[in-house]
Structure formats: C-alpha cells, structure tokens
C-alpha cells in the first residue's frame, strides 16, 4: 500500500510534530506540500521533507486553488484560523486532521461537526492526550468498573512558568484578539479528557479566573520593555528571555520557534526585534494566568478543573477520580488505584525508549498513527478523536468562559 500523501497548513511547532511521523514511517505517510507565510520556516520545512517547490505556498488559500494533489490536509494554523482552511479542504475532498481547538467560535465548531457527520472522509481533532499510555490506562481502568461509577473528578494542569511566558504572555496565544481564550488554547485537552472519562454530557458549569500576575503594575523597578534593553533586574528575573532562549545547548522547542537562525547572534537578533524578548510584565497579553472550572454531568457526577501558569515542572497534569467502589490518583506517570475491599495497585505508564515519538508522552505519534490508519482504510470509526466526539468539551469551554466573564452559572 502506498503512503498517505499529506499537506501541512502551518509549518510551526505543531505542524513540525505531526509531519515528523513521515520521517519515522515513510512507508505510511509522505509530506508532499506545505503552506507557511514565514519564508525562513517554509524553506527549512521544504529541506527537511524534500518537498517539490511547486507545492510550497506562502498562503494556505493557494493550496486549494491548485488541483487536488494529496490525500490529507493537516491544519496547524493559529486557533482563530482553523475554520476557513477546514472548509476549503472539505470542499476539495481531503481527509482532515486539525489542531485543537476546533475554533474559538461556537457556531464554527457546530458547523464543522455537522459537516463531518455527513461526509465519508476522516476528520480528526488533535486531542493527543487520549493517545498517551497514561490516559489510555486511566480510561481502561474507569471503563473496567474497578472503581465503580464515577462520582467526581479532580484535575489540575500546572503549566510551567516558562511555558506560560513563551506561549501565553509573549507568544502566539497571548491574546484573544489573535487567538482563543486560555481555556481553549491550553486546556481544551483537559476538558476533553474530563468529558471522555466521564462518558456523559455536562449539564452546568461555573468558572472563575483572571489575568492576575503578568501585568504592567507588577513589573519590577528597573525593568525595561525588552530583556535585552539594559534591564537592571534581568539577571535575577526567572522570566528573563535571555535565560529561556540563550542556552546554546538547547535548540528544540520553544527556542526553535523564535528563529531559524539559532546562533548566538541569530537568537539575540530575534529577541531584540521580535516578541519573545519582551518583558513578561509589559506585553499585550490578555488571557488568564489561572482559572478554575466546576462542572456537573448527567447523573449528578461532578468535576473540577484547575489551570495555572505557575508550575515549576515538579509534576505534570494530576488527576483524582473517586468512584462508588474506590478511587484513582495519577501524576502523569504513576497511577494508583485502590478500592473499598483493600485492593490496591500502582501502574507505571512510562514508555522506555520513546525517543522521537515522545511528544505529549507518545500522544502526538499515537494520534498521527491512528489517523493515518483510518485514512488508509477509509474508516472514520477507527479514529477516536473525531470532531463529533470532541464537540461537548468545546461547549463546556464556551460555557466556562461565559461563566467567568458574567459571574454566573451557565446551563448547557
């Protein structure tokens, strides 16, 4: 069987992740086209995947002006730029894999989901956490009935402070004017996991949160607009762009996102001239830096979710599920299960030697593998993270933002 031919729309971090599957499994997937507006990133991607230049585009719209030349389109544009390329790919008859979230607009999410139900093509959303050994094991335990029916779920996402700095203060997801609310850009994964594990529809939502710390009034005395501009507190500041981006031994994400020239001079130029050298207290960010969401599901089961951009990396996502027969606790690696009879067991979900397949604990690779398998067999049912299965968690997110802004409970 010939490899699936794919086009990448957006050759940034996520486009690079999903396209890397073709380098590990060239017999299953081949990248034959790309659309990327930044010339240096486009050129780098072309060389990496040996793509014919006639299938390299600066504007994604030009991909769909051409005669159909692939099987699959993988959409990795910014959150508010998913709908239009989705519609163009849909009209051309491509299978589609799209980065989460679907869209920051509820109407667009519903329209895309409705279209996906009617079309005999594979439509997948990149909810990669479903494909990690950690969450797959939790799902298996829950579905087995070992802890009984779910009464409540507690879930926390302690995003590392430097990740917050890079993506949600200085970077592409810093503002709802250019992206989506934090509950979608960072935590749509988490709402999806909660809904997936619960297996029921959410009935009502309440949420609180704000942008509390990364604000101009919290800027230290002596700080400057840029970390490269003679800031008097830069050496002591944990958020210093020089600390995050200037280590010559580090060349992967997020450093690779500031420039294609990762020499000392190239990095400094990017920090001086681009957004990533800005003081975190003096950016144009407006997304929250912490938020809590409370949910009630059918059958009166409840869930709580906490997001905060102040983690240190001591642990990843943490989850606790309490059921009618026992409970489960997980810390992104270990899962501890105990029931009311005295039974207890610990699962270690680390995957030895994951290497290049390690993104999101193997979830990035696992998702791409399942999507390609579904396309090769032309069977949408083989893909668990379909648009239809993901719509509910988006509706929870919209309700959470409405609750947070309006200060009231929202019924779904």
Residues 6 or more apart whose CB falls under 8 angstroms from that of 255 comprise 244, 245, 247, 262, 267
State pTM to two decimals.
Answer: 0.93
Residue 118's pLDDT is 85
**Cα–Cα dist 26/24, whole Å:** 6
CATH code, residues 4-127 = 3.40.50.720
Res. 356 pLDDT band, cuts 50 70 90: very low
Res. 386 pLDDT band, cuts 50 70 90: confident
Question: What does the pLDDT look like over 166-212, one tens digit per residue?
Answer: 999 999 999 999 899 999 999 999 999 999 999 999 999 999 999 99
CATH code, residues 130-214+285-352+387-411 = 3.30.360.10
**What are the structural domain ranges in the chain?**
4-127, 130-214+285-352+387-411, 219-277
Residues 6 or more apart whose CB falls under 8 angstroms from that of 94 comprise 7, 68, 70, 71, 72, 73, 121
**Cα–Cα dist 45/34, whole Å:** 8
Q: Which of 201, 208, 192, 188 is nearest to 402 (CA)?
A: 208
From residue 272, how far is each of 121, 153, 227 by CA, in Å? Answer: 46, 45, 8
- The per-residue pLDDT of the chain, averaged, comes to 95
Are 124 and 383 contacting, i.e. CB atoms less than 8 angstroms apart? yes
Question: What does the pLDDT look like over 103-139, one tens digit per residue?
Answer: 999 999 999 999 998 888 999 999 999 999 999 999 9
| Residue that has been written with the tokens 């594979």 in this structure | 122
Q: For 63-80, what is the HEC assignment?
A: HHHCCCCCCEEEECCCHH
Question: What does the pLDDT look like over 33-87, one tens digit per residue?
Answer: 999 999 999 999 999 999 999 999 999 999 999 999 999 999 999 999 999 999 9
Are 161 and 312 contacting, i.e. CB atoms less than 8 angstroms apart? yes
Q: Which of 20-24, 66-70, 363-367 has the lowest mean pLDDT?
A: 363-367
């Amino acid at each position: 069987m010939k490899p699936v031919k794919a086009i990448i729309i957006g050759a940034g971090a996520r486009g690079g992740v999903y396209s890397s599957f073709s380098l590990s499994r060239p017999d299953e997937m081949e990248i034959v086209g790309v659309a990327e507006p930044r010339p240096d990133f486009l050129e780098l991607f072309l060389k990496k995947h040996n793509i014919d230049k006639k299938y390299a585009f600066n504007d994604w719209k030009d991909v769909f002006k051409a005669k159909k030349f692939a099987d699959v389109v993988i959409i990795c544009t910014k959150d508010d730029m998913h709908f239009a390329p989705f519609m163009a790919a849909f009209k051309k008859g491509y299978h589609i894999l799209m980065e989460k979230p679907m869209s920051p607009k509820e109407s667009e999410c519903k329209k895309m989901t409705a279209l996906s139900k009617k079309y005999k093509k594979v439509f997948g959303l990149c909810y990669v956490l479903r494909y990690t050994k950690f969450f797959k094991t939790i799902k298996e335990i829950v579905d087995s009935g070992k802890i009984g029916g779910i009464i409540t779920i507690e879930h926390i996402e302690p995003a590392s402070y430097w990740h917050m700095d890079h993506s949600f203060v200085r970077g592409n997801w810093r503002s709802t004017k250019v992206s989506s609310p934090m509950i979608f850009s960072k935590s749509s994964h988490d709402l999806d996991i909660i809904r997936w594990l619960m297996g029921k529809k959410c009935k009502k939502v309440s949420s609180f949160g704000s942008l509390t710390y990364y604000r101009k009034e919290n800027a230290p005395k002596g700080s400057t607009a840029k970390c490269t501009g003679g800031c008097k507190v830069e050496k002591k500041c944990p958020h210093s762009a020089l600390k995050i981006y200037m280590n010559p031994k580090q060349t992967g994400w997020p450093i690779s996102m500031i420039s294609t020239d990762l020499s000392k001079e190239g990095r400094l130029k990017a920090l001086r001239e681009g957004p990533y050298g800005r003081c975190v207290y003096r950016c144009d960010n407006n997304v929250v830096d912490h938020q809590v969401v409370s949910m009630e599901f059918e059958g009166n089961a409840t869930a709580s979710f906490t997001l905060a951009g102040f983690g240190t990396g001591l642990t990843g996502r943490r989850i606790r599920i309490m059921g009618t027969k026992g409970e489960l606790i997980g810390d992104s690696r270990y899962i501890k299960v105990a029931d009311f009879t005295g039974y207890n067991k610990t699962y270690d979900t680390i995957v030895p030697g994951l290497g290049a397949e390690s993104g999101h604990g193997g979830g990035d690779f696992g998702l791409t593998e399942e999507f390609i398998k579904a396309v090769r067999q032309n069977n949408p049912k083989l893909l668990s993270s379909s648009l239809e299965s993901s719509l509910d968690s988006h509706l929870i997110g919209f309700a959470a933002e409405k609750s947070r802004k309006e200060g009231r409970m929202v019924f779904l």
